[in-house]
Amino acid sequence: MEIGEGLKALRLQKNLTQEELGERTDLTKGYISQLENDLGSPSLDTFLQILDVLGTTAKDFFKAETDEVIEVMEPTGMVEACNEADGWATKWLVAHSNDHEMEPVTIQLASKGETKHYAPSKAETFGYVLAGEVTVCVGNVEKSVLEGSTFYYVADREHYLKNKTDSLAKVLLVVTHSYL
């Protein structure tokens, strides 16, 4: 079985060079290159050590070969958090979204509810208002966005969402994981 392509994809996903992976596993850059090009086969111990450094298990590594194209998340597996005092609830729509480049969530804002205020970053945010009306706040700029409309911003200033209305509001957000 050829494993090189999978190892290389994991290494790149973790933003590691061949040299960095070699340093973390006490292997040479050349040996890592040979493995990624399927020119050599590691011992089981070496293979498991590499997978450990890359943050996965053998089970998940080989499962990913067949299932990696489409990740399906059942509603029962979605994680939810809420803050009744501030009037918001968030649902993460993809498992392990911190491992991906974007994080899709739904946010529900009660009447006069407001999300926490997020620090500036290079993250990009796309939103689609599913119900009600929300006010998008980025720095000193505020924009009201109605149901069925979308919004987009780079989060380079403090940012948050609020609901100034007496109705429930719901937003689908997709946020990238780009930090300052």
> SS3 letters for 36-80?
HCCCCCCCHHHHHHHHHHCCCCHHHHHHHHHHCCCCCCCHHHCEE
Task: Give the pLDDT score at 64.
Answer: 56
C-alpha separations of 25 from 29, 39, 59, 129, 165 in Å: 10, 18, 20, 47, 55
For residue range 47-101, list pLDDT tens digits in order.
999 999 999 988 888 875 555 566 777 887 778 888 888 889 888 888 766 667 8
Q: Higher confidence at residue 9 or residue 100?
A: 9
Range of the domain at 129: 75-176
Are 50 and 19 part of one and the same domain?
Answer: yes
Predicted pLDDT at 68: 55
Among the residue ranges 24-28, 72-76, 105-109, the one predicted with the least confidence is 72-76
Parallel, antiparallel or unpaired: strands 88-92 and 102-109: antiparallel
Instruction: Indicate if the alpha-carbon torsion angle 25, 28, 31, 35 is positive or negative.
Output: positive
Dihedral angle over CA of 22, 28, 30, 36, nearest 10: -40
What is the structure's pLDDT at 171? 97
Lowest mean pLDDT among 20-29, 75-84, 85-94, 118-127: 75-84
Do β-strands 159-162 and 169-176 pair in parallel, antiparallel, or remain unpaired? Answer: unpaired
Instruction: Indicate which CATH number applies to the domain containing 21.
Output: 1.10.260.40
Longest dimension (CA), the chain: 65
Greater model confidence, 94 or 153? 153
The whole-angstrom separation of Cα 120 and Cα 127 is 17
| Domain end residue (candidates: 20, 50, 67) | 67
Q: Given 45, 67, 89, which residue is the final one in a domain?
A: 67
Same domain, 25 and 95: no
Residues 130 and 170 in one domain: yes
> Is 100 found in the same domain as 60?
no
pTM: 0.60
Q: pLDDT band for position 180 (50/70/90)?
A: very low
